[in-house]
Chain A
């Protein structure tokens, strides 16, 4: 072992509380005298604090999200020279939208699935954190989920080992659904359906139905809702109500 290794080992032993008696005393004496050694011990301690500072990571996620959102808004804000053309284009688009709406009403084909899904969507309670999940990453993700910071929650859920903590699929799906990413929500909820964590099948089917409706896939949504009514689950009444809206 090199001298450098021995020095590191001594610092490690000191920080881990393994030095005792005369050895400890000798090290502390040296620490008082040697500025470089103090700096080295401080470095070890600072590295530890930095690695454990999760709040700072979470805050950084939030700041990043604001910067990205605001930057993309700025990029889509037209400059003055283009405003007139854009106004004209907007007027033409508006006429198009009005024409489309008239067509849809006259055709009487409902495309209200996504609106209904949003009306009926309520985030499922975080049933995990209170009793402890056993995963620090999952706890952080659920913390963001509880605060309705779904994009951050998704980023953090993606860092969780979902195979080890299958409930992650369920809450990731819900977070996607909450921000209108119904395709991703369906993927995650199907994984949750397969693993069935916490016996959540009725809840999984309810949110899957909402995700299908968001995609205007009424038949898939209706099938799940019918199941919830027929099996007299706790979602039966809500499912019945939603079915009536779809009809």
Chain B
């Protein structure tokens, strides 16, 4: 994906600048952007390290599992077709909680395992089951507590209040997740 996208951005902008005569700007901007990337990395490193340190405590204390176990009522509502004791439940819960805490790297492995388990329950093997559709729609609209990357970028570019976006973010993502659930529920009723 990025292979073509990146090449396209570079070829396209250099050709355009060639015609419009802005080659010096391209040179300056290529050099200063590369330099800026390193500065940005150094500025964000502290915040990201701080956050991952805190999150490692949460992981070691078993917070993800503890929260995942509390999700039974919600999972009953979202996935009525998946039996309570089925392994898919545990993986779905872990994936959603890890996403919620902003731990992307901890979310994907259980997410893929959840798909594998859901596939075992699926009757038509090349057609997605309702549970899969619901899982992925909710996963993509992901309720997230906060995006530490965005906060660290805002800090690096000198925002007066980098965390002011936390609450609006949560409200926006709640709205999108509720829409997602509603949509998947309606489709479930309609297609059954």
A in complex with B: no
List residues of chain A with CB under 8 Å of any chain B CB.
Answer: none
List residues of chain B with CB under 8 Å of any chain A CB.
Answer: none
